[in-house]
Structure 1
Amino acid sequence: MTLHELLAELAATHPDRPAIVDGDRTVTFSALRDEVDHVASGLAALGLAHGDRIAVWLPNGLPMITLVLGAAKLGAISVIINTRYQKAELEGLLSRTRAKVLALATDFRGIPFLDILEAVPAEKLSHLKYVVNCPPAADIGAPVGQMLSYESLTAATPDKIAPANEQDPCAMFATSGTTRAPKLVMHCQRAIVRHGKDNGQALGYASEGAVMLQALPLCGVFGFSQFMGALANGRPSVFMEAFDSGEALRIIERHRVTHFNATDDMLVRILDEAKPGQLASLREVGFASFTGTNAEALVARAQEEAGIVLRGLFGMSELQALYAAQPADLPVSERAKPGGFPVSAGGAARVTHPETGEVLAPGEIGALEFKGPSRFVAYYEDPEATKEVLSEDGWFSSGDAGELEADGRFLFRGRMGDTLRLGGFLVSAREIEGVLDDHPDVASTQVVGVNDGAVPVAVAFVIPVEGKTPDADALRRHCADHLAKYKVPRTVIPVAEFETVTGPNGTKVQKQKLREIAEQAIRSG
């Protein structure tokens, strides 16, 4: 099924049901279908055609959705860009994808989108013909191409358009690049529609009365997959242009929100500020722990203070977010884990030896590999990189470390690069972190691996509980009481906070910065 076939089906089945609440505007499924039809015809009039690329550099909002869906109706591909990106990142994406159209919002949070665009060398943008401004129409000139208003697209007369194919790529997301330019992950229409239906069914978004809060940015797969889970199952989403905990609480209370997904830091802020009864409508919330918060303590807190069932999630750009989740009926300690069962009946996970490729038994840490209908098509114009991660029989090598549980769930342990080889064994940093997190003086922990000469060692960074001053040697003895000797950190470094970086899928700890500090500490003795 294509995205437009899905939209037509929803408009026929639930014509008057709200699909999107965007500020003061509520858009039904039939009205959404109609606006997408207008936008698709407007884009076609600009020359956008099957296989062409449109860059969507927008915050959460109705234009973000109608442009992606309208382009998909034409068989074009949306290059979805984080609104936080600056000149180098924008230049890389626009020049690599040769996008014909760029959509932006000149009034979003004071971000100088046009100034950033103007800083890109003109020779990198020879392909860019039109810039679509998505706030109300404004007489603003574009530094490149012709500036149009979003309203000029919605005013276009819908024309008959040759239908796209469900196998056509329709959305492109940038992975987080470190040593080289980020890869561009392409998903086809069938995969996005199927995964939306699957994750919505598995996570409760399809249930009667379900309402989704869309606080995660749509420019990342975390937010995009969540929105599609609600849309594909005919349930409404209430948009936030950008996350604000106070506004999120007001929306949850006003619209009787039942579901949303968030990062750990977002959840902490919501729980800290919630008034009695303000979260009463919530049924389940999915989360990913990126900033070092004690996940088990967070799950327990949400249940005790607000009666909320938190479920650990797993996903990535190549598989889409919400690929897997922990069952809602598990104990707190199990629901806190990242991983779980794939949401699709066609999904599967296995663990292999990183050097031999041998499939490992439950409990053995190795490389996580996945299958399923949500898997990406290819990396854009990078067949070699695609070939490196996709086996002939369809398994995707994720670059993550993990293990299988006895009941068939998988447990994400971290990136393979973050997995430590200590004493000749693969060791999960999370295992050591969990032991330190259990110490009464420790609020949060991050563990990295570095070399002491030729010997690989672990170094731990801990944020103390407020009012506590943990002793590094005491924490090492605590580890020695619970772990094999080779897993005990060589040193423990107390810090006030972890350095983080914010991306489209949330805020994450900068492990590389921690490694640099750890290496310096080891060298200085």
Structure 2
Amino acid sequence: MLTARATTSPDAIAVLDDRHRWTYAELDARARSLAAGFIDFGIGPGDRVLVQLPNIAEFVEVLFGLFYAGALPVFCLPAHRQSELIPIAKASGAVAMVTCHHHQTFNHATLAAILRDHAPDLRHLIIVPDRGKPGLPGGTHALDALRRVPKELPAVAASDVAFLQLSGGSTGTPKLIPRTHDDYLYSVRRSAELCGLDSNSVYLAALPVAHNFPMSSPGILGALWAGGTVALAIDPSPTTAFTAIQQFKVTITGLVPPLARLWVERAENSKAYDLSSLRVLLVGGARCPDELARRIGPALGVQLQQVFGMAEGLVCYTRLDDPDDVTLATQGRPMSPHDRIAVVDENGDPVPPGVDGLLITKGPYTIRGYYRNPEANASSFTEDGWYRTGDVVALRPDGNLVVKGRLGDRVNRGGEKISAEEIEAHLLDHPLIRDAIVVAVPDEHLGERSCVFVLAADPTTPPALGQIRKFVRERGVATWKIPDLLEVVDSFPETGVGKISRRSLRAELSARVSQS
């Protein structure tokens, strides 16, 4: 794809950020020189490489450099810390890591050095250095030091695995999602077509670009497939993003609902920025409240396009020409005529149209299994190969889905998924806590926040929220996983049959805190 664009439109602008402006020819040359360097380092076909980079142009050249070398990026988020990265490194067998020096005051290069001590296969640490800041940790290599004269590159088949993504909210052994070049590019192409991308499009990556949504729906890859331009914002705040929209003449971008609300509120209260180039705003990652959906168009002067999907495959969109009752109140319909979906009950039997049920799917770009994880495969796929998404939905007669929530015990905090079980496992190591249950509670801005109910080890000295937050933070977990709220209780309620069903308890406790 990149080779073709560099041949047909070598001088068109491919990538922009606050420091770089690369044409397609320049991006292709940079990626090929990195590929040659990766190969000289012994990183070649099939090798897994952790990529933990913020929204900077180097992300794009590293991505294609690894593709050209036949290596497999393993996408990590800038907010991930050792608690997440060590299991990811071990599960993937990563031999190298590409990260930045610092991001938002956090020293990622030091984190990478710590990670190497816990991941036996990790041989190479490659760092994008800060401008004008020396001092990379010993045993690391600056990204530019890898560059070599481009050479003949290994053959890569379209059906080869291209990279590994993370499934949201996994615990224990991470659920790594293998995507092949052909299945992912099909998803990218269909997304670009349905979102109206062409060579004049400028896509702004405001969300962390390692997420599936800003990478492929239609994302940076959709923009490059269409011959358009990728613009990258270092953070999604209205100030940063609105400046980028005005500066780069952005035409399309994607947000999770909490950020969409922030953008809408800023636009409603201030006309300091020229957002007239922006034509389409995609909202996904979590259900967009109908009230917010109605405000987006008038406030930002855009066409709202709702998107619902998953890194495992299936992507649904509202269409740009859909009537308001579809665009504002549904999460769209499958993007491929070859997608198959069904809404079933807990026994796997179909439910009537319009009735809430569990979504299962099959399709040309939906995975058939997780990477080296038979336990996850057994629970996530039916015997005849349907993927259990874990989403509770209703299917309207017109074929559009209305997303109602998640079956699993997860908190969807602003589009970032939190496994209740993972945080509970950390909390149970706190000396002041006897037991803990994490639940989701509704939040106007983030969609959901996490509330932890705890039984104190000593009722006379219950833990405080600040103590819990500090404890979890020091365990090295991502910031968004730190509990927002705390309720200390005397006991947990039992289920109707006298057993402790943590799922039932979460539902009961969540209802209690929502009503308070």
TM range (shorter): 0.7 to 0.9
1:211 to 184, 190, 202: 202
User: Contact between 1:314 and 1:340, CA under 8 Å: does it hold in 2?
Assistant: yes
Counterpart of 1:158 in structure 2: which amino acid? Answer: P
1:245 to 238, 254, 258: 238
Distance verdict in 2 for CA 1:157–1:335, change over 3 Å: same
1:92 corresponding residue in structure 2? 87
1:301 corresponding residue in structure 2? 295
Return the alpha-carbon distance in structure 2 between the equivalents of residues 59 and 360 of structure 1.
43
SS for the counterpart of 1:268 is helix
User: Contact between 1:271 and 1:302, CA under 8 Å: does it hold in 2?
Assistant: yes
Return the alpha-carbon distance in structure 2 between the equivalents of residues 192 and 463 of structure 1.
34
Corresponding position: 1:177 with 2:172: no
Return the alpha-carbon distance in structure 2 between the equivalents of residues 509 and 85 of structure 1.
12
1:378 to 366, 369, 379: 369
Q: CA deviation at 1:324?
A: 0.9
SS for the counterpart of 2:80 is coil
User: Contact between 1:404 and 1:410, CA under 8 Å: does it hold in 2?
Assistant: yes
1:396 to 383, 387, 402: 387
SS for the counterpart of 1:286 is strand
Identity of aligned residues (%): 23
2:509 to 516, 519, 522: 519
1:40 to 29, 35, 59: 35
1:29 to 24, 28, 33: 24
Return the alpha-carbon distance in structure 2 between the equivalents of residues 350 and 221 of structure 1.
23
SS for the counterpart of 1:313 is strand
SS for the counterpart of 1:344 is coil
User: Contact between 1:223 and 1:505, CA under 8 Å: does it hold in 2?
Assistant: no
Corresponding position: 1:413 with 2:404: yes
Q: CA deviation at 1:113?
A: 1.7
**Range that drifts further, 374-383 or 161-170:** 374-383
1:202 corresponding residue in structure 2? 194
Return the alpha-carbon distance in structure 2 between the equivalents of residues 120 and 220 of structure 1.
21
Distance verdict in 2 for CA 1:54–1:406, change over 3 Å: same
TM-superposition CA deviations, 1:287-336 (whole Å, max 9, x none): 0264x8x722222212223332212210112117xx11112333444323
Counterpart of 2:289 in structure 1: which amino acid? Answer: A
2:309 corresponding residue in structure 1? 315
Counterpart of 1:224 in structure 2: which amino acid? Answer: M
**Range that drifts further, 295-304 or 398-407:** 295-304
Distance verdict in 2 for CA 1:289–1:383, change over 3 Å: closer
User: Contact between 1:258 and 1:283, CA under 8 Å: does it hold in 2?
Assistant: yes
> What is the TM-score normalised by the length of structure 2?
0.76
Return the alpha-carbon distance in structure 2 between the equivalents of residues 37 and 121 of structure 1.
27
**Range that drifts further, 304-313 or 229-238:** 304-313
Distance verdict in 2 for CA 1:250–1:511, change over 3 Å: closer
SS for the counterpart of 2:307 is strand
Distance verdict in 2 for CA 1:106–1:198, change over 3 Å: same
Counterpart of 1:232 in structure 2: which amino acid? Answer: W
1:329 to 317, 321, 330: 321
| Structure 1 unaligned residues grouped into runs of 5+ | 1-5, 420-458, 466-498
Distance verdict in 2 for CA 1:212–1:348, change over 3 Å: same
Return the alpha-carbon distance in structure 1 between the equivalents of residues 57 and 233 of structure 2.
11
Q: CA deviation at 1:121?
A: 7.3
2:276 corresponding residue in structure 1? 280
Q: CA deviation at 1:45?
A: 0.4
TM-superposition CA deviations, 1:199-257 (whole Å, max 9, x none): 01101123x52211111111211221111111111111111122221121122122221
1:228 to 210, 215, 221: 221
| Structure 2 unaligned residues grouped into runs of 5+ | 411-438, 446-468, 488-504
Return the alpha-carbon distance in structure 2 between the equivalents of residues 231 and 93 of structure 1.
28
Distance verdict in 2 for CA 1:505–1:257, change over 3 Å: farther
User: Contact between 2:88 and 2:174, CA under 8 Å: does it hold in 1?
Assistant: no
Return the alpha-carbon distance in structure 1 between the equivalents of residues 306 and 482 of structure 2.
18
TM-superposition CA deviations, 1:250-272 (whole Å, max 9, x none): 22122221111101221222222
> What is the TM-score normalised by the length of structure 1?
0.75
User: Contact between 2:213 and 2:285, CA under 8 Å: does it hold in 1?
Assistant: no
Return the alpha-carbon distance in structure 2 between the equivalents of residues 261 and 157 of structure 1.
37
User: Contact between 1:136 and 1:150, CA under 8 Å: does it hold in 2?
Assistant: no
2:255 corresponding residue in structure 1? 262
TM-superposition CA deviations, 1:465-510 (whole Å, max 9, x none): 9xxxxxxxxxxxxxxxxxxxxxxxxxxxxxxxxx9x99x9997998
Return the alpha-carbon distance in structure 1 between the equivalents of residues 321 and 289 of structure 2.
17
Q: CA deviation at 1:464?
A: 8.8
Q: CA deviation at 1:379?
A: 1.3
Q: CA deviation at 1:368?
A: 0.6
The number of residue pairs the alignment matches comes to 439
Return the alpha-carbon distance in structure 1 between the equivalents of residues 112 and 303 of structure 2.
43
1:427 corresponding residue in structure 2? none
2:493 corresponding residue in structure 1? none
Distance verdict in 2 for CA 1:306–1:193, change over 3 Å: same
Return the alpha-carbon distance in structure 2 between the equivalents of residues 153 and 377 of structure 1.
35
User: Contact between 1:37 and 1:158, CA under 8 Å: does it hold in 2?
Assistant: yes
User: Contact between 2:306 and 2:332, CA under 8 Å: does it hold in 1?
Assistant: yes
Counterpart of 1:228 in structure 2: which amino acid? Answer: L
SS for the counterpart of 1:195 is helix
Distance verdict in 2 for CA 1:153–1:505, change over 3 Å: same
Distance verdict in 2 for CA 1:464–1:221, change over 3 Å: closer
User: Contact between 2:223 and 2:229, CA under 8 Å: does it hold in 1?
Assistant: yes
Counterpart of 2:403 in structure 1: which amino acid? Answer: F
Counterpart of 1:386 in structure 2: which amino acid? Answer: N
Distance verdict in 2 for CA 1:161–1:261, change over 3 Å: same
2:59 corresponding residue in structure 1? 64
RMSD of aligned residue pairs (Cα, Å): 3.6
1:490-509, aligned counterparts within 5 Å? none
Return the alpha-carbon distance in structure 1 between the equivalents of residues 444 and 231 of structure 2.
37
Q: CA deviation at 1:129?
A: 1.6
**Range that drifts further, 186-195 or 280-289:** 280-289
Return the alpha-carbon distance in structure 1 between the equivalents of residues 54 and 440 of structure 2.
37
SS for the counterpart of 2:351 is coil
Return the alpha-carbon distance in structure 1 between the equivalents of residues 247 and 7 of structure 2.
28
Q: CA deviation at 1:131?
A: 0.9
Distance verdict in 2 for CA 1:299–1:30, change over 3 Å: same
Distance verdict in 2 for CA 1:509–1:117, change over 3 Å: closer
Counterpart of 1:317 in structure 2: which amino acid? Answer: A
User: Contact between 2:343 and 2:350, CA under 8 Å: does it hold in 1?
Assistant: yes
1:47-58, aligned counterparts within 5 Å? 47-58=42-53
TM-superposition CA deviations, 1:340-396 (whole Å, max 9, x none): 1222232232212321x2233321222211223332353121134224434465532
SS for the counterpart of 2:190 is helix
Q: After TM superposition, where is structure 1 displaced by more than 4 Å over at least 4 residues in a row?
A: 136-139, 391-394, 459-465, 504-518, 520-525
